[in-house]
Amino acid sequence: MKTFNPQSVVALALAVGAGMAAAADRDLSCTLKFTSRQWSAVYSSAEGEGTVSCDNGTSMPVTISAKGVGLTAGKWKITDGTGKFTRVTAIEDVLGSYLAVSGDAGAAKAGTAQALTKGKVSLALAGKGEGFDLGIAISQFKISKP
């Protein structure tokens, strides 16, 4: 008959905890390069494409889309968009829908910057392009495989 050994339980718990801490330390550094086209008139819509790249050598082509509502008007395109993800453990973590709240005012050479969140994963976006935009909107920003 085997007996209960409390030291074994403690050792196992410490090993599991150390493994979880090591996994948390392995967050990937991932970035997004993208282009997009967007218009808005109360309802806003954007579509684009890009590539997610991570520091472990993985990359993935993606499509991006955003749909939202607010007090907005405009039409523009982002030709040099970038994004930085945080709290990513696998490249697939970047896929899905993010919540975005934005306020914009721009003309001619438009620019944008937004912070988005999806559970534990966050995404900071920035971009340069041309067009005009005025207003405030709440939208869903979605990254998916093509």
Predicted TM-score (pTM) of the model is 0.75
Within a 13 Å sphere around the CA of 101, how many CA atoms are in the beta-carbon half?
A: 0
Mean pLDDT of 5-31: 55
pLDDT for 90 equals: 97
Are 50 and 32 in contact by the 8 Å Cβ rule? The answer is yes
32/64 Cα distance (integer angstroms): 10
Average pLDDT over residues 42-71: 91
pLDDT above 70: residue 89: yes
